[in-house]
Structures are given as structure tokens and as C-alpha cells.
Structure 1
Amino acid sequence: MSQPYKKKLIEVAIPLEAINAASAREKSIRHGHPSTLHLWWARRPLAACRAVLFAQLVDDPSSCVDELMADPKLRARAEAELPGRVAAWEKSKASAQGAAANAPEPTLEDVAVEIERKRLFAIIEDLVKWENSTNEEVLERARAEIRRSCGGVLPPVYDPFSGGGSIPLEAQRLGLPAYGSDLNPVAVMIGKAMIEIPPKFKDMPPIHPGIKERSFYRNAEGLAEDVKYYGEWMREKAWERIGHLYPQVDLPKEFGGGKATVIAWIWARTVPSPDPAFSDVQVPIASSFVLGSKPGKEAWVEPIVDKQTKKVRFRVRRGGTKAELAVAKDGNKVGRGNFVCPLSSAAIDVDYVRAQAQAGRLGAQLMAIVAEGPRGRIYVDSDDAHATLALSVRAEWKPEGRVPAPSHDVDRLPMYGMPLWGDAFTQRQLSILNTMIGLLSELRQQVMEDAKDTKLHLDEAGLADGGIGAAAYADAICVFMSFAINRSADRGSTICTWDSSPKMEALRNTFARQALPMTWDYAEGNPFSSATGNFLNNVEWVLRVIEKLMPSSPGRVVQHDAQTVEFPDGAVISTDPPYYDNIGYSDLSDFFFSWMRPALRTIYPSLFGILATPKNEELVATPYRHGGKKAAEDFFLLGMRKAIGNMAARTGSEYPAAIYYAFKQSEVAQEGISSTGWATFLQAVVEAGYAVVGTWPMRTEMANRMIASGTNALANSVVLVCRKKEVSAEVITRAEFIRALKRELPPAIAELQAANIAPADMPQSAIGPGMGVYSRYRAVLEADDSAMTVKTALQLINAELDEYLGGIQGEFDADTRFAITWFEQNGMGKGDFGVADSLARARGIAVDSVKHAGIVESAAGKVRLLKRDELDPDWAPEEDGHLTVWECLQHLVRLHERTGLSHDSAALLKRLGPQAEAVKDLAYCLYDIAANKRREASEATVYNALIADWSELSQMAATVSLEGRNRQMRFEV
């Protein structure tokens, strides 16, 4: 069937490992990263979004063969490389080993396509690096390729589930008109702040009356400087009004005495003692008494119990024995939500705590004070004056939105007597947030007053009305200040705890994870200190993002549901829908909405005129909201089908759509690739009218974490590449579908192996070509004429993958095939000689042959595979007269485990010569056995790690010289 479009790069190949490595590294980037502008959950890495957008728009070289062959330089290079490629193919063919052995003979056109594809890969590899995210030279090179493939007209990109705004932001960075929409007003506001507001004031100098920091301003640098200036203005005004609520503390004489600024007050929640003799006493319940744990500088609080006066007080201790520190680590907690009464030793169980909380009898007691010292933190005894002041504050207002009812396995706030969002804050915390929000109207007037002496238009149209003058600019400053206020709320609730770890000793934020767990001892930070979480620090986080934004094209984000939103003409869809039951975005975002609403209601009345974020329309399968798991799943499937159907119906066919799917790790680990959530999502995609033509697993964990933890983490998400299904699509039977899978899936898997897809990612990657077969038909009919479900199709695809990986075994030498079967049956354990003898004879060899090969030990009627550290340390492949693929792999794995991407590992790979491809195939086979059949995660990890590094090892091997000393190198590490 002729293609009515050119295939794009993302439909054929992408440098997946480079993208994943950059995505993983991005997690360690903090200052300036857009994710730090305002918290949002489950954002896709910017590197992945940038690479996917580029690959969606740029033609794959296989679609432009005539153009490539017309380029004399490229043709000449292809002609020069062709003989070497043919020779390598012939060698692989002769060895009859490796996936490459079944590949057709390369042609001149094949070589030209590969050269050009590598050139595009190099652009992506530069593009995804964090340090290049503001590199105009690198970005312009990418933009030029996009323009060339798009006929000079850059199409708009639309993300109908824009969330934290990663995809529209990266579209804008690539010079593409960027559009997004989301149902959640907090998400919409984040998107507006990143891609809609900055272009209005691009290249504009700051308007503040102070000394300017530079003479020339690019992009949003001027806006960022004004955010800094007016943030300091707000801090000064707030200090004038409520600075007295944050007194300094007296330092102990051992620290020189005098006064010091408080960093945080450490509180323990209290409940009435369950012992009748002390029922009139509020006793502390704390998860930990540890304040600091730097070796040699340990600090902790010791409860001092006086039963006569019925009081518990605390004193700060420094140092202490290991036993004392071990006791302090757990406070008076004896399990999840269970404590011991310090006065009577009576048990305070979770049900009692919950009942007291719901009855409004939770209190708080000051345990210690953290102060700023000349050489770090100083921990000071609790001070009655400080406690009295804090507990006497009465805020004018608190958010009155209700926290959602308990759901899933997360302890939501109402379980502990906090029915309203405002209940999660102390009165002093409420006061500072109220003060900052109250200052916004004064700030807006101040900005407009300062703008009179600048070139900024003095029109009265605000941001919501499309203004670009003084009023709109004042609105913009208020928007970014509201983000700093929300950051202050995240660092300033009673869910915040004190991180006593040696490297931190700082305030944790409210959303340390994607939930709101109850905390028993909490840290109340000082917004006027210089430590983590202070107001100016929160302003700085915001401005560092703004100054790195590159608004090179227009952008717009609106509030709308994805099922009915209208897309601009020619829009390219790239989107990250919510995972069906992973995160309750609206429930969690109400924490921020409750503060954003009073801050921005006058600026964006249509967004913040509601009392809470939309819940019932949100496309998340929340059982408690929809009356059960089945009803929630049906709601999600119907809504997602409508949303994706809207994408397919209202967009063109020139470009493929990219749809991200975020894996719920626990579910996939239990159910495999046909897991309920994955199958449900794919069913919605297929029923909406899309054919899935590719799947690319995206991994965002740090590379070293996988090896260190001894696990094989699944990809965090998969990018589905979709094309509109042909109107003339046929209906086929189950048998015809299986025949098509057997015909088309093996070469596709071989190509994935050739691209060094990690074994852990192979099942998700194989879904692409497999679903490509399934989804291009109108329906696949079962024997009873019912339509085959996606779940069934996924199971069949996985079965074909297993069969393919099993079939590779037939290409290995007999000794290796014996070792594979023995490993599958016994792992590295012993087995009976008789069984081993039967296995060996079935492969035309004897056990002695395998023993002679140096693979097994055979003694006393037992046989076992030799462990890697038992192999011959002086082994050299060139001198091995009984060389096996098994031994080659195990030696390479042993060296890679110890030295990683080293010269020695690369040299050994080169010395394996024609065995190298077979070694890689065996790594895939053994990963599959270890991970899926034997459930030996640590053994699977080493094979996965080797393949993940294979591309770089191969590149290093190409530069290694094996002459002289290196030629005689032994396997010694």
C-alpha cells in the first residue's frame, strides 16, 4: 500500500539510549529547571519531549532516498563505506550467528540512509543535553531540520493534556507555535506562566527603579530581574507588618551567646494521654527526636518526664551513645500511627489518635528551635516565650476548601481531624501567606507606577484581556509572585518535617512525594531567615526559571477538556494524558488552588471564579469518585476514547501523533505488558481511530541506580506513535493476525536489538510493531466472531517475542545451548549428572565437552555452571581452542560489572570479533530467562546493563588498538 505521507524519524528509529540518559540526568538539575517554577506531578522530562517533537516532524531518510542519492557528497561517502558494510555482512552471514545474520545484503541506498540517519541522531544527541537547552546554535540546527522537512512552514503543536507544560514549552523552544489546554486551572496557570506570558515581554529591559544588573536583556531576562526586585519589595513590606511574629532566639553560651535568627521551630503534635491518671494532659507524639545526624555533630531532643507535675519537656542533647541515638531515631513511635505515652507508657494506637484528631483534640508542643549559626545549624532548647507567641497568633483567614475523602492507601488529612485545606497550617503560617497575598494588590499598583518612567505602553488591558502594556506587565509580576507564595505554602505547612540527614539538616517540603501523608513532628520554617524555604529563596527559584525561558514563538494555554477542544489547523498532537488511576491531580492541586485563587482571582476571574478544581470531569479512574473500580475504569475508557478520537478526527494526517503513557510500575510488574491500565489505554487509542505504528520506552531513572539497587526498573513511560487508521482497513481473523505477527515481528525485533534496546525495555518496544499489525485492521475476529481485545493482542505479541528470543538459541554453539537450558532449569545451582548427560546428548555433545569449554564443574555425580568469578582469569578469546558464546558473554559481563564503560571492556568486546553479535543476542536470552522465568533480578540486571552500554562500548571498541601489549592483555581486573 502506497504511503500518502513521508515517514517521520520517530516511526523508524531514534537514539533512545541518548534520550533516556539525558532524561535521567535531568532529574539532578534543580536551579533553572522549569519543573521548579511550580510543583506539578508526573511531568515528562524536557529532554524526552524535545527529542520526540523533533523526531515527529523531521523526515526519516528512508522517505527521501532520491534526494539523498542526488547529494554528491553523501553518495560518495556511501560508495566509500559500502564495501566495508558488505564485508561485515558477509562475515556475520558466514558465522551464522547474531540477528544481523538474517539481514539482507546492504545496498548503496541503505548505506546512504544509515549515514543520514546517524547525522540526525547526532543532532538529537546534542539537542537533549541540558546544557544545550539554551544553546542557540544547537537549537537553530534543530529548527533548520524541522523547517526543511516541513516545507519551511512550522506547524503548530498542541497538547490537550498540557499539565505542567513540558511539551508546549519544548515546542516553543524549537520555534514552533505552541498550544496547550488542561481542565485544571493550576496546570493552566503554570502553562501560561511558561509559554504565554514571557513572549509578550521578550527582550524587554526591567522597569524597576533600582540599579540594573546588565546593559542588554534577552528573552525573559528583564522580566526575571523585575521578579527579583519586587520579590525583595514584598519581603520588606511583609517584615514591616508581621516581622514581630518571628523573633530571634538566645544562643547557649557554648555557642557564644547573643541573638540568632531562627531557621525553624520543631513541633510535636499532642493528644490527651489515654491513661485515666493523666487524661487531662496533652502528651507529645513524635516520629523522631533526631535533629542532626552529622557524624561527630549529632543533635537530638530528650524528653524529660515529670509525673508529679504531669509535664513533659524537652532538652537538646549533643553527641550521645549509639544506643541513645538509636532510641531517639524513632521518637516515641512504635509503628505506623502508634505511640507510647511518655508519662504512663500506655499505648497510644492509631485508632485512638484518629479519634482524638477528629474530635478536635490534636495539639502541638515545641520541642526545639533551629537557629542560624556562624558555622551551620545550632539546635536550641524550646523556649516558652516562643511557643506562647506562636500559639497566640490568630490569622484573619484560612482556605475553607474541603480536603478529599481518604482514597487508595494514602492517609489523607481528614483522617486526622483536618477537614479543610487551611487546617494543614499553623496560625502563624496562615498569617504570612495571608500577608503576602494581601500585598499583591499593592504590588500591582507599584509596578504600574514604576512603569510610567519606561517605554512600556500604559494601557489598562490586563493579561486576561490580551494586554501587553503596563497593566499586563503588573499582572505578570503578580502571577510569578503567586508562584513564590505557593512555593512558600509547600514549604510552610504542618506536613513539612525536619530532614535530619547529614547532607541536609533542612526543611522538607509538603509534597515530598505524590501524596499528603500525616506527619507527627513537623518543622515550622521562618520565611525571613536565609535557610531553605525562606520567601526570597522561593522567589529565586521562580526567577531562575524565567531567565532561562526562550520564548522564540507564540504560545497559548487555555482551560478546556480534551474531549471537545478545537485544534488549530494543521496541528501536530504531542501529549501526555493522565495515567488512569495513578495520580489524583485535582485532589492534590487543590492544596495550591486554595492559595492561588485569592491571589489571582482578580487577574484571571474565569480561571479562579470556582471554589475548587474540577473533579467529576477529570479523566482519572478514581474508584471513590465513580462508585467502584469497574465504574471508574469505564469512565476513564469512555472519556479517553472521546479525547483521543477528538485528536484523530480534528487533526491532519501529515504528521504522526505522539501520546505518552506513564507506567504504573507495580501493576506492570505483576501483570506484564498486558496490564489492565496499559491495555485499557491502548484500547481507547485503537477504538478512537488510531493505528499504533511505534512504541518507544522512556526511562528517567539514573543509570547507576539500576545497577546499585539490583533491580531492572521498567521504563517510566512509553511514547506511542500513532497514525490515523486507513478508511479502507480490513477485518481479519485471529489466525491471520498471528501469521502476520510471525511474519513481521521477528525482523522488527531484530532491528530493535540492532539498535541496542535494553532487554528490560524490549517487551514495551516490541508492542510498537506488534500493535502496528493489530491496529491497522478494522478488527481482528476471534473464533466466535467477537472482536479481539487489545489485552489479548498484547498477550499474543508477548508470546511471539518469547518465541523469537527462544529461537535465537538455535544459532548458538552446542555448549552454549546446553548452558542456557541448564541455567533455565537450575540457575547457578547443582543438578544431577544424569540429567546433564541427557541434555548434552540431545545437543550432540557430552558433559565433558562443556567441562572442557570451561563452563561447568562436574564432580561427585553433580553438575553446575561456573560462576563468573570462577572463570579462568587468564582467558583470552584468541587463544581459546574451545571458544563458546557463553564464556565470551560471561567474561565480558564480569569485566563490565567491575569497570563499566572502560577501555578494558571495549578492548575485550573488540577481541570477540565475529562473536560479538552472538554475545549480544545471548545477553537478551539470558535476561529474559533471569527476569521472567527464574525471577532473579540481580542476574537479569547485569545483562540489561551490558546492553544499555553496548552502543558506547562498540564506539569505544572501534578506536581500540589491539597491537603490542594490548594484544596480549589478559582478563585481569
Structure 2
Amino acid sequence: MTTETLTDTASFIEAQFPVSKVSKESYKERKAVSSQTLTGLGKWWGRKPLVMIRAAIFGLLMPPSENPKRDREIFLKIMTMDEDGLWKRMREADGNIRYKDAFELLTEEERARFFDLDEVEGGKAIHHCIDANGRAEKNEVKTEVQRLAFNRLSYDEKLDYVDRPEQIDGPSEKAWEDINAHLGTNAESLTGLIRELGEQQFGRTPRVGDAFCGGGSVPFEAARLGCPSYGADLNPVATLLTWASLNVIGGGQQVSELVETAQEKVYAAVDEQITKWGIEHDKKDWRADAYLYCLETECPECGVTVPLAPSWQIASKFNVIGNLNHNKETGNIEVKIEEDVSTSEWEAADEAGTVENDRLQCPACGRATPIKMIRGDQRGENGTSNALRNWRNDDVTPRPGDTFQERLYCVRWMETYTDADENEKTRRHYRTVTEADRRREEKVQRLLEDRFDEWQEKGYLPSRRIEPGNETSRLMRERGWTHWHHLFNPRQLLVNGLFLQEIDNLEDDVIRHVLPLIGNVVFRNSRICRWLMTQGGGIGGGKSAFDNQALNTLYNYSTRTWLTLRSTALDVETYDVRNEDAEVRTEDAREVSTDCHIWVTDPPYADAINYHELSEFFLAWYQKEIRRVFPEWYTDSKRALAITGDEEDFRRDMVASYQNLAENMPDDGAQIVMFTHQDASVWADLALIMWAAGLQVSAAWTIATETDSALKQGNYVQGTVLLVLRKRTSDDTAFTDQLKVQVEDEVQDQLDAMRALDEDEEEPSFGDTDYQLAAYAAALRVLTQYGGVEEWDIERELSRSRSNGEQSPIEEIIEEAVQVAADHLIPQGFDSFQWKTLAPEERLYLKGLELESHGEYRTGAYQELARGFGVREYKSLYADSRANKTRFKGATEFGTKQLDDEGFEGSHVRHALFAVHEAREQDDAQAGRLWLRNELPDYWGNRKKLIEILGYLASMESVAEHWEEDAKAARLVAGAVENDHA
């Protein structure tokens, strides 16, 4: 297969896709965190990057030509990911490379051209040394210097200076000339190009739909590009966020002004009432901006009531701690807040945590007691039960006698003062709780009690019960909470309820546009919001709920005041989408009846997040206003209908969903299914589902991002597979042997085509793992073109249980495809015959070195590689496994460890590494040769293989500093082995 084969497809994305650049752009968008376009509307789990959606839609609409390389160039121009596009994005961002850095990127000739080098050498600042006269000429020279320097940066480095593609108006005029010439269009904008490409393919602008719309990325981006868009979700919270993405963020300046005016009105009214109540001010007129609470429980060993917190560090910038003191007169443990303590006291406060590994650490008697024992956990036929009292609807605090009580232990106050220059300033004070603070807490309780029944009846406070579930049952088990408002303390309920009361005073159309505000407030003000002592530059701050994908009950938590809750206002960048053909519904994917030319979906799959449970946290607060302003929507999370699990029911529900979407798609339509690639069994399940739904795989690409997360153990890796599908038009039946031959040919042809396309590329489109993924896709492309396989029973496969450990036929096909790829993708310069004699663990290690040589340090890339070679245990190979720093060990790092007779420890590669270590230790290449000659069975029969391995290790010399000396030693040992004589 040559690169021309890439033109034998219906769209660009089915032939090729610049996964490397799209991944980097997606990562840049993710790193914007709260500045991402849609995140300001409210929390949703797993929103997909808008740049990835844009690339997917254009990838499906752009036809391939007879020139694949030119196709890629044009696609990058459309996405503004080419040189000129990046430069335009830099200028739009008003980005500038520091002149000192720009100077370093210029050639000697260019430096002499643009700068007075005598002044540079004289120590003047470089920006004063530009060799030009007059402002206009200087600006011209500056721009030219910036452009030259910018062009010499890597793609990753350029992204530090540029806006995201969504933040500019599209390609330049010159780029449009190239795009139109290649595609036969006359477009001057992205919406115009979408319309023309759609008319070429479908006779009209294509409708793009998402039946699992979640946070709204697909409907929003499709509508912004000018497509009629359709979004549906079983979950009303997801539907609301999608509606808001189209009508709030996409509503233009007029809606932006409406939202801003309404917010100011509501926030001012709430602030006025709170100030009038006097519940956030002290006698000095300082205003609180944070309250810290903790649980407390009686130590079963000594009877002392212990405040619970994993650490008593409060703010790192000012060394603020809670100092515990056992008052023997009262029998209580008091928490005294101290500022500016010594380093030793600061460190001791962390060690003084009273909860460690879910065990109470009593500071009075020094004994540890498991929390589960304090709760009285017992396993029974119906799961775990305990002695905790189940809270009633009217409970907002623990009752006397409850296992866990609750106390306020710190207040942070904000002092406003005028400095000597008459400037208004503020400073924070962390204070121990006083009797006055406790009286204000009592007042909060009374104010809430006076309003509780009325506010619940009016929907300003939730009254919804917590239904049992994978995530929700823990709330009852760990705290006894039975209603959603139990996740909020009295102060939070009073403030949140007051806010809803003021929202309810607005007109219906205004409420519709500011409704996400409710979710933003409760998201940041609940009992499941942890306090982070490093937040805000170390001054300490409250995190939002759901800092992972779970309902975590906390031992200590933060409560925001209205002073800090004002930051929850919708501060979002608006776009004038105004797409009248955009539609959003609360609807089950199995019941969708709207036709779409293109479906782009991110469905639930084997390890799905429990959206239907987690979202009820928000739905409990939203439901009254949703009923008012969206009467056609329901306010039930529809748990019973949610597609969950990973067994037969899950597969059949998914088949029904995708059969329905296929029926609501023209024969020349297409689908992209997005999912997180876990392992071959997940792939096999998804392939089986799509196959049974009458869909055929035409391509697959992984868009990968990866970030560190302090709140998760290990690595937090996020990679999204884009699986491209068409309707299957054939009912032919295949035989397994026939499939195997076709898969082998298809895999090899696909890899050869991709490699040819990436020749001579400084920044190739495809990474090492993309070739491996292409093997998966090639196998499924062959398989799903058939209506069935003679020896397979699709009904049996749909009902197969994963727990029985039996490998499915599809998994076997995939694994064989990956093996073909492993044999075919030989590291550059390695002898193909010798490569095929290596064990999987050896190939994994050597390919891992190749990843490092390509500058690939994403953990996911190494994980994918291991899966491809079928190696399950490889942690011992890591020198570093941190996100974006992953790599395998060098010879010296292995040292004398991990030597054995079996597996990698006994392999030729491991012995070669040890020989390098010996050569370095003794500063003699012959020591390495003698090790191999004396320790390796059949040394002479494997001599050529050892020379090949050592030569490959020697090629790592220029890759990284830690390889430099090992690589030199490897070259010397290779020479000694080559010159060895029997």
C-alpha cells in the first residue's frame, strides 16, 4: 500500500489526522482550566476540548485528494495550526518573545543585521540595541525579529505565545486563497467553508448531533461553525449546561449584558440582606471570608471528644496552624489558631493530624482507632451497615448523641483599612473561634429554622432524597445523610437558599439565562468542599466539590462567605452564535428521532463516571427553576434508564442507542464515537457494540492530554480515542482464517502509508503509539465490513461475562493485529531479523528508548506500548513514572539489580545492559564482553543479536544526559564483542 491508498476514503479523517498537533492544542485548552470557554457555566465531568471537536467535524467534511501531504497542509491551515496560522494567533494574542530570547534564536548574520552588536557586547539591554531609525522602522524590525524567532521555536514552544484557535476569527486571507484553491470552494470564513463542504457532500449544511451531549462541547462547537446542531441527554443537568452553552455563551453581546445586569441585581440583594443580618461581620466591622469546620467524635479509648482533620496546617504563606490543646478541666480538645509559627511548629501541625489512613489518632491518649469501628461498620447480606443514625429531612446539624458532631474551628477575617497614602487596602486575619462567633452561628441556625419549611416548599432549598447507588450510598454509610441538603451546613443552606430566593424574583427569560449560577454557587459551598492550605498563593482557600469523580465525605471542610461567593458569577467570554437551528432536548439516545448527517458522541462505557448519581447534587437545587422556565423538560435524573455497567445489559443498551442513531443518519452520513482507551477488552466490547449496531469502523485516532494532579495517586492520564464509523453496507460473511490474513495485510499497509506520509517531518503528525492504534483500527476496519463471521455467535458475545476470563474472538483479532504492528514497527537502524527474535519484554524496553529519543514522556504512551506488546508487568523498567516525565532506566540505573534467569531479568537485553554497567564500573569494555561470554548461555549463537542490541543502546548518546556515558560504554562493548574470537 502506498500513500495513494489514503485517498481511497470518504474523508480526510478516515485517511489521516494530525494527532500530534491536535493533541497539543487540546492539552493547551485543558491547561486553561477555568478559562476554557464552557467551564464557566458549571461543573460537568469529561468535557471534550472544543479544538478536538472542531478538528473532527472538519476532518469528516474535508475530502481527500490525490496528494495526501497537501491535504494535511490545507487541513492545518483551516485549523490555524500551520506556520502562518500560529503567527496570526500570536499577533492576535499580542504575544511577544522576549528580545533576549529572540536574540538567542537568530543566526550570527541576522544578529548583525538587526542589532548594534557593539552595544550588545557593551552590556546594554538588547531591546535598546535594535539597529533602526524612527518608530515605524523600529516596529518593522521588531516584527521581523519576532517572526524569525517564532518560526524557530518548536510547536510546543509556540503554543506558549498564541491564542487558542477558537479565540481568533480563522485563517488569514492568504490561507483562504490556498484552502479554496485546493478544495474548490469560495469561502472567506469557517462557517462559509462548512456550508460549502456540506453542500458538496450532502447538498446542504450538515446537521451535527450528540445524543450524549454532557457539558455541551459538540452542539456548541458545531453551532459556532454554522452547522444546525442537535444536543440530547438523558440527564437534565447536562441538557441545561448544553442549552446555556448555546444561548448564554453563544448569545452574543445582548445576552451578555442581560446576564451581567441580572447577576449584579441578585448579588447586591443577597449582600444587602447578609449584611443586615450581621452574620458575616464582627464588632470591628471586619468581614469573614472563610469558615473552617470539622467533625468531632469521642475517642472510644479515653472518652475525650477529638476534632477530626488529617492536618492542622491552614495557610502555608503565613504559617497558620491549628494548635491542639487538651483541656483536662473540660475534657475537650481545643483548637487555637496561631499565625506566623516557626518552621518546626508548621511541620508539627501536619504530623498532628487526628485522622490518618481512616483511623482516629487521639492526641489525648495517643491510641489509634479505625473510623469504621467508631461507626460500627458491619458486613451483611445487603452490604455494609453501621450504627450511624439516619438523618431526617429537618436535620441540618448532628443531634446530641450522634457519633459525629461538627464544630467551627477557624474564621478568616478580612480587614479593610486606609494606608498612609489614602489607598484602601485589605489584609487577612486567621482567628480562633470566639464566643461571639458561636453566637453568630446560633443566629444563622435560627434564621434558617424560621425559613426552612417555606424555602423547601418554594424550592429554594432541596427536599430531594438521596437514592442508593454506587456513589451515593456512601453518603448514608459514612455520615447518615439521606437528603441532598444534608451535604450543606446551616450557614451554607441559609446563603444558598437566599440566593435562590433572589433568582426566583427575576423574570422567566432572565432566569433561563442565569440558571447555571445556582450550580456555580452550590458547587463551591458545601460540606464536600475541602480546604487547601496552598490555595491562592498559599493564603489558603476553599476548593470546589468534586475534586475527583466522586462524592467524598470530608472530616474537615471549608465554607465560603458571600464575599468569596461573588466570584461564582458567570464571567464567560461570549460568542455571537445565534444559530436558530440549534436544538437541545432531555431525551434518551434510544428514543432520539432527529436526523443528523454527523453524530459525534461520547457515550458511557465500561468504566464510566456515575453521571446520573453525581449530577443529582446539582439537580436537587435546579429542579424548581427548571420546571418553571423549561416546562417541557423533566427534572428526574432517570437513573433507571441510565446506561451503566460493563456486562450484557450495558452492551445491549449501547447497541440499541447506536442502532437508533444509525437509523437517524443518511447512508452517506458518519459517526465519531469518543472514548477513553483502557485495554483490548474495552476496545473489543466497543467494536462488538458498533458492529452489532450495523456500523463499520473506518478509522481511529487518539488525542492525548496528560496532567499532574496532587489529589490523585499515581498519574492522571487522559487520552480520547476518536473512532470513525460509517453505516455497514455489506451482509457478507467471513471466515476467521480469511480475517487473519486480511488483517495482517491491512495493518502493514496502513502503517506503511502513515510512515510514508511522515517522512522528513521535523514534527511528525504521528507518534509511536499512533501507529499501534492504527493497527487496532485496521483490524476493526476489516472485521466490521462483514455482516458476520462464520464461526462466531454475536448474540453469545453480547451476553458474555467479562469475569470468566475468557478472551473474545475480537480480542484475539486485535491482539494479532498489534503483534503484526510490533513485528512491523522496528526501531530505526535495528536489524529486522534480530528484532523478531526478541521477547516482548525486550521489544518493549527498546521501543521505550525509542519513545524517549523522540521526546515522548507521556505515561500513556508507555502504557499503550506495553499493551501492544502484551506485557502486563513492566513497572520495574521505569526510571520515572511521573506524568510527562516518564522514561525507562539506563544501564547505570539498573545497576546490579533485576538480574535473573527468567523474563526481562534474564533476557539478552538485560545482560547487555549489565555488560555496559560492568564496563563503566571497571572502565574497561573487556569486562562487559567477559560478562556476556561467561554468563550468557549460547553466547556465540547470540553474538550478532548482542552486537545489534549494544549498537542500539549506543545510539542513545545524544538523547539525554543520563544516557551519555552509558551509550559510550555500549559502543565500546559492542566493538569488543564484535572483535571477539572463540
Q: Please state which band the TM-score falls in when normalised by the shorter chain.
A: 0.5 to 0.7
> 1:886-922 CA deviation, whole Å, 9 max, x = no partner?
2674134227999xxxxxxxxxxxxxxxxxxxxxxxx
Partner of residue 31 from structure 2, selected from 20, 28, 33: 28
> 1:163-190 CA deviation, whole Å, 9 max, x = no partner?
1110011101111111111111111111
Partner of 2:956: 890
Partner of 2:314: 291
1:358 aligns with 2:389: yes
Alignment of 1:697-708 (within 5 A): 697-702=702-707
Moved over 6 A (4+): 2-6, 709-714, 783-790, 830-833, 882-885, 895-898
Partner of 1:66: none
Partner of 1:653: 667
Partner of 2:854: none
1:422 aligns with 2:485: yes
Number of aligned positions between the proteins: 729
Partner of 1:48: 52
Partner of 1:859: 927
Task: Supply the distance in 1 between the matched residues of 2:61 and 2:480 (Cα, whole angstroms).
Answer: 53
1:229 aligns with 2:261: yes
8 Å CA contact 1:674, 1:791 repeated in 2:
no
8 Å CA contact 2:410, 2:431 repeated in 1:
yes
Task: Supply the distance in 1 between the matched residues of 2:524 and 2:816 (Cα, whole angstroms).
Answer: 49
Partner of 1:325: 346
Task: Supply the distance in 2 between the matched residues of 1:435 and 1:388 (Cα, whole angstroms).
Answer: 20
Whichever residue aligns with residue 264 of structure 1, its letter is: A
Residues 895 and 16 of structure 1: is their aligned pair in 2 closer, same or farther, counting only changes over 3 Å? farther
1:602 aligns with 2:625: no
Task: Supply the distance in 2 between the matched residues of 1:832 and 1:438 (Cα, whole angstroms).
Answer: 71
Alignment of 1:436-447 (within 5 A): 436-444=499-507
Partner of 1:537: 567
8 Å CA contact 1:288, 1:333 repeated in 2:
yes
TM norm structure 2: 0.67
Alignment of 1:259-338 (within 5 A): 259-275=285-301, 277-278=303-304, 282-294=305-317, 297-338=318-359
Partner of residue 132 from structure 1, selected from 154, 158, 165: 165
> 1:89-139 CA deviation, whole Å, 9 max, x = no partner?
xxxxxxxxxxxxxxxxxxxxxxx4422332223322449985331422449
Partner of 1:103: none
SS of equivalent to 2:593: coil
Offset, 1:342: 4.1
Partner of 2:790: 781
Bigger mean CA offset, 125-134 vs 331-340: 125-134
Task: Supply the distance in 2 between the matched residues of 1:124 and 1:137 (Cα, whole angstroms).
Answer: 7
SS of equivalent to 1:893: coil
Offset, 1:717: 1.8
- Give the unaligned 5+ runs of structure 2: 87-161, 173-187, 377-386, 391-397, 416-424, 759-763, 799-806, 846-889, 909-914, 934-947, 965-982
Offset, 1:593: 0.4
8 Å CA contact 1:418, 1:424 repeated in 2:
yes
Residues 136 and 245 of structure 1: is their aligned pair in 2 closer, same or farther, counting only changes over 3 Å? same
8 Å CA contact 1:741, 1:773 repeated in 2:
yes
Task: Supply the distance in 2 between the matched residues of 1:797 and 1:788 (Cα, whole angstroms).
Answer: 15
Task: Supply the distance in 2 between the matched residues of 1:784 and 1:188 (Cα, whole angstroms).
Answer: 38
SS of equivalent to 1:799: helix
Partner of 1:162: 213
Offset, 1:196: 4.7
Partner of 1:620: 644
Partner of 2:124: none
Task: Supply the distance in 2 between the matched residues of 1:512 and 1:493 (Cα, whole angstroms).
Answer: 13
Partner of 1:188: 239
Partner of residue 19 from structure 2, selected from 10, 13, 16: 16
8 Å CA contact 2:29, 2:164 repeated in 1:
no
> 1:856-906 CA deviation, whole Å, 9 max, x = no partner?
9441664479xxxxxxxxxxxxxxxx99972674134227999xxxxxxxx
Residues 517 and 238 of structure 1: is their aligned pair in 2 closer, same or farther, counting only changes over 3 Å? same
Task: Supply the distance in 1 between the matched residues of 2:696 and 2:253 (Cα, whole angstroms).
Answer: 44
Whichever residue aligns with residue 436 of structure 2, its letter is: A
> 1:272-314 CA deviation, whole Å, 9 max, x = no partner?
4435755xxx4311222111112xx211010222111223322
SS of equivalent to 1:616: helix
Task: Supply the distance in 2 between the matched residues of 1:579 and 1:18 (Cα, whole angstroms).
Answer: 27
1:674 aligns with 2:680: yes
Task: Supply the distance in 2 between the matched residues of 1:4 and 1:883 (Cα, whole angstroms).
Answer: 38
1:794 aligns with 2:807: no
Partner of 1:824: 842
Whichever residue aligns with residue 764 of structure 1, its letter is: L
Task: Supply the distance in 1 between the matched residues of 2:165 and 2:359 (Cα, whole angstroms).
Answer: 50
8 Å CA contact 1:5, 1:653 repeated in 2:
no
Work out the percentage of aligned pairs sharing the same amino acid. 20
> 1:806-853 CA deviation, whole Å, 9 max, x = no partner?
3555984669958995992998467899x99x999xxxxxx99x999x
Partner of residue 732 from structure 1, selected from 715, 726, 734: 734
Partner of 2:516: 483
Task: Supply the distance in 2 between the matched residues of 1:382 and 1:725 (Cα, whole angstroms).
Answer: 69
| Cα RMSD for the two superposed structures | 4.1
Whichever residue aligns with residue 648 of structure 1, its letter is: A
Task: Supply the distance in 1 between the matched residues of 2:788 and 2:405 (Cα, whole angstroms).
Answer: 62
Alignment of 1:911-930 (within 5 A): none
Residues 186 and 130 of structure 1: is their aligned pair in 2 closer, same or farther, counting only changes over 3 Å? farther
Offset, 1:692: 0.5
8 Å CA contact 1:425, 1:492 repeated in 2:
yes
Task: Supply the distance in 1 between the matched residues of 2:488 and 2:556 (Cα, whole angstroms).
Answer: 13
Offset, 1:261: 1.7
Residues 317 and 406 of structure 1: is their aligned pair in 2 closer, same or farther, counting only changes over 3 Å? farther
Bigger mean CA offset, 548-557 vs 10-19: 548-557
Residues 134 and 808 of structure 1: is their aligned pair in 2 closer, same or farther, counting only changes over 3 Å? closer
1:513 aligns with 2:548: yes
SS of equivalent to 1:602: helix
8 Å CA contact 1:336, 1:350 repeated in 2:
no
Residues 714 and 349 of structure 1: is their aligned pair in 2 closer, same or farther, counting only changes over 3 Å? closer
Partner of 2:593: 566
SS of equivalent to 2:72: helix
> 1:21-77 CA deviation, whole Å, 9 max, x = no partner?
111111221235212211111111111111101111121224xxxxxxxxxxxxxxx
Task: Supply the distance in 1 between the matched residues of 2:72 and 2:232 (Cα, whole angstroms).
Answer: 34
Task: Supply the distance in 2 between the matched residues of 1:839 and 1:3 (Cα, whole angstroms).
Answer: 40
Partner of 1:91: none
Offset, 1:783: 8.6
Offset, 1:558: 0.4
Alignment of 1:752-791 (within 5 A): 752-753=754-755, 754=758, 756-782=765-791, 791=808
Task: Supply the distance in 1 between the matched residues of 2:216 and 2:602 (Cα, whole angstroms).
Answer: 10
Residues 290 and 861 of structure 1: is their aligned pair in 2 closer, same or farther, counting only changes over 3 Å? same
8 Å CA contact 2:705, 2:717 repeated in 1:
no
1:57 aligns with 2:64: no
SS of equivalent to 2:271: helix
Offset, 1:576: 1.2
Offset, 1:515: 0.8
Offset, 1:683: 1.2
> 1:347-374 CA deviation, whole Å, 9 max, x = no partner?
4431244356436513222211112254
- Give the unaligned 5+ runs of structure 1: 63-111, 203-219, 252-257, 445-473, 622-631, 841-846, 866-881, 899-973
1:370 aligns with 2:412: yes
Task: Supply the distance in 2 between the matched residues of 1:28 and 1:170 (Cα, whole angstroms).
Answer: 19
> 1:767-793 CA deviation, whole Å, 9 max, x = no partner?
111100011011223399998889433
Partner of residue 613 from structure 2, selected from 587, 603, 610: 587
Offset, 1:497: 1.9
Bigger mean CA offset, 420-429 vs 263-272: 263-272
